[in-house]
Structure 1
Amino acid sequence: MSEAGTTTAIGGPVGPVQTKDRIFNLDMLRGFAVLGILAVNAVTFAWPVEVMMSEAPPPVDLGQADWVGFWAVDVFFSDKMRTLFTLLFGVSVFLVGGETRDRDRGSVLTRRLLWLGLFGLLHGMIWYGDILLHYAYCGLLFMLCRSWSAKRLLSWGGGLTLLWGVIATLGYLAIANAPAELAEQMRAGQPASDPESIAAVIQAYGTGAFGWFTQNVADWAMFQLAFSPFLIPITVPLMMLGLGLYKIGFFSGKAPMALYLALLVLGGLNLAAFAVFRWQDIMAGPEVDPTRGLAAAMGGLAPLISLFYASALILLTRYGLKPVLGLLAPVGRMAFTNYLTQTLIMASLYYLPWGPFWFGQQGPAAIWMSVGAIWLLQIVWSPLWLSRFTMGPFEWLWRRVTYKGPVPLRRAALPAAA
Structure 2
Amino acid sequence: MAATDAQTGGSPSPARLAPIAVKDRIFTLDMLRGWAILGILAVNAMAFAWPIAIEMDPSLAPPWPHDHANILGEWAKDVFFQDKFRSLFSMLFGVSIFLIGGTRFDEARGPLLLRRLLWLGLFGLIHGFALWFGDILLHYAYTGLLVMLVRSWSSRALIWTGVSLNLVFGLLSAVTALMTGLLPGAGQQQGGNPFGTTQDQLMQIIQAYQSGWPGALIENFKSAVILQLVSLTLVPVTAGLMILGMGLFKAGFLSGRSPTWIYVLLLLIGGANLAAFAWYDWQFYAAPHGAPDPTKGMAGVLGSFAPLITLAYVSLLILMTRFGLKIITGVFAPVGRMAFTNYLTQTLIMTTLFYMPWGPHWFGTIEPGRLWLVIGAVWLAQLIWSPLWLSVFTMGPFEWLWRCLTYWRWVPLRKTADA
Q: Partners of 1:51 and 1:259 in 2: how far apart? A: 40
The one-letter amino acid of 2:162's match is G
User: Does 1:40 pair with 2:48?
Assistant: no
C-alpha displacement of 1:22: 0.3
Deviations 1:93-123 (A, max 9, x none): 0000001111110000000000000000010
1:256 is aligned to 2:262? no
Which residue of 123, 127, 135 corresponds with 1:130?
135
Tell me which residue corresponds to 1:336: 340
- Cα separation, partners in 2 of 1:189 and 1:284, compared to 1, 3 Å: closer
Structure 2, unpaired ranges of 5+:
none
* Cα separation, 1, equivalents of 2:151 and 2:333: 25
User: Which amino acid in 1 is paired with 2:415?
Assistant: R
Question: 1:8-407, aligned counterparts within 5 Å?
Answer: 8-10=5-7, 11=10, 12=12, 13-55=16-58, 56-124=60-128, 125-178=130-183, 180=184, 193-207=197-211, 209-225=213-229, 227-285=230-288, 286-407=290-411
Counterparts of 1:110 and 1:19, CA distance in 2:
23
Q: 1:193, CA displacement in angstroms?
A: 3.7
**Separation in 2 of the partners of 1:206 and 1:269?**
42
> How far off its partner does 1:165 sit?
1.2
Matched-pair contact (CA < 8 Å) for 2:212–2:356: no
How far apart are the structure 1 equivalents of 2:191 and 2:249? 45
Q: Secondary structure at the match of 2:222?
A: helix
Aligned equivalents of 1:25, 1:272: Cα separation in 2: 26
Q: 1:208 to 1:384 in 2, by over 3 A?
A: closer
Give the SS at the match of 1:388: coil
The alpha carbon displacement at 1:222 in A equals 0.7
The separation in 1 between residues aligned to 2:173 and 2:368, in whole angstroms, is 26
The answer (yes or no) to whether the contact 1:281–1:290 under 8 Å persists in 2 is yes
In the TM superposition, what whole-angstrom CA distance separates every residue of 1:217-248 from its partner, at most 9, and x where no partner exists? 010001111x1100001011111111111111
Q: CA deviation at 1:189?
A: 7.4
Relative to structure 1, the CA distance from residue 195 to residue 9 in structure 2 (aligned partners, 3 Å threshold; closer, same or farther) is same
Q: Which residue of 2 aligns with 1:416?
A: 418
- In structure 2, what is the Cα distance between the partners aligned to 1:307 and 1:44? 25
- The TM-score with structure 2 as length reference comes to 0.93
Shift in Å, 1:200: 0.6
Deviations 1:20-39 (A, max 9, x none): 00000000000000000000
Q: Which moved more, 1:66-75 or 1:286-295?
A: 286-295
Amino acid at match of 2:309: I
- Cα displacement (A) at 1:50: 2.2
Would the aligned equivalents of 2:212 and 2:361 in 1 still touch at CA under 8 Å?
Answer: no
- C-alpha distance in 1 between matches for 2:212 and 2:179: 46
**43-52 vs 213-222, greater mean Cα deviation:** 43-52
Q: Note the C-alpha offset of 1:172.
A: 1.4
In structure 2, what residue type is equivalent to 1:221? V
Distance 2:191 2:35 in 1: 39
Deviation of residue 190 (structure 1)? 5.4
Q: CA deviation at 1:6?
A: 3.8
Task: State how far apart, in whole Å, the 2-side matches of 1:343 and 1:356 are.
Answer: 15
Question: What is the TM-score when the length of structure 1 is the normalising length?
Answer: 0.93
- Cα distance in 2 for residues equivalent to 1:390 and 1:300: 39
Amino acid at match of 1:153: L
CA contact (8 A) 1:7 1:22 kept: no
Q: In 2, are the aligned partners of 1:27 and 1:328 still within 8 Å (CA)?
A: yes
CA distance in 2, matches of 1:377, 1:8: 35
Structure 2: distance between partners of 1:140 and 1:188:
29
TM-superposed CA distance for 1:377, in Å, is 0.3
Counterpart residue identity of residue 172, structure 2? I
Q: Are the aligned partners of 1:8 and 1:21 in contact in 2 as well (CA < 8 Å)?
A: no
Alpha-carbon shift at residue 283 of structure 1 (Å): 1.2
